[in-house]
A = this chain, B = another copy of it.
Amino acid sequence: MESKSSSAAFRAFCSQHGLAATHQRQILFEVVQEMEGHPSPEEIYARVRRRIPSISLATVYKNLHLFVESGIVGEVSLHHGSLRIETNRTAHHHLVCRGCKSITDLDEKSFRLEMEHDHISAAFQVERYSIEVVGLCPACKKE
């Protein structure tokens, strides 16, 4: 029944997004949901291969993108593909478009942040914090 409800959730997900309910897709769906932390595509691929040794890495990437688009999984900060240098050395934050990945500076004074340091291990040496406001820019909104 665990597998039954999980399978039902998967089928619901697929029909909502107009996707075929394939075996590979289902295993990936299950594996991603049972993994903890912030795995890379390679790590997910390694796990899925234990259940479908013949699966292709490309299939994993393609479906992860679909899952991210559908919101069933997220992305730990937006992946820009390459290193981005910050030349503005004043304290500030960012507005990031998840469509075109454009980055806009936001003045620090637009935010008032209170942090309860108690929740962060005293052994961790905090140097700074940054806030990313994520969404869609005007151009990407009308895709």
Interface residues of A (CB under 8 A from B): 32-33, 35-42, 44, 64, 68, 73-80, 82-89, 94-95, 97-98, 103, 106-107, 110-116, 119-121, 123-138, 141
CA distance A112 to B133 in the complex (A): 15
Q: How far is the CB of A127 from chain B (nearest CB, A)?
A: 4
Interfacial chain B residues near A113, Cβ < 8 Å: 111-114, 131
Copies of this chain, tallied across the complex: 2
Chain A contact surface mostly: mixed
Let me know if A106 and B119 touch, CB within 8 A: yes
User: Most chain-B CB neighbours within 10 Å: which of A76, A107, A110, A132?
Assistant: A76
> Quick one: which of B36, B86, B98, B120 contacts A127, CB cutoff 8 A?
B98
Closest partner residue, chain B, to A117 (CB atom): B110
Given contacts A111-B115, A113-B111, A119-B107, A85 and B89 within 8 Å (CB-CB): no
- Contact check, B80 vs A76: say whether CB atoms are below 8 A apart: yes
On whether the beta carbons of A135 and B131 are closer than 8 Å, the reply is no
Chain B residue with minimal CB distance to A39?
A: B85
Ranked 8 nearest A-B pairs via Cβ = A74-B86, A110-B119, A76-B84, A123-B138, A127-B135, A112-B114, A126-B135, A38-B84
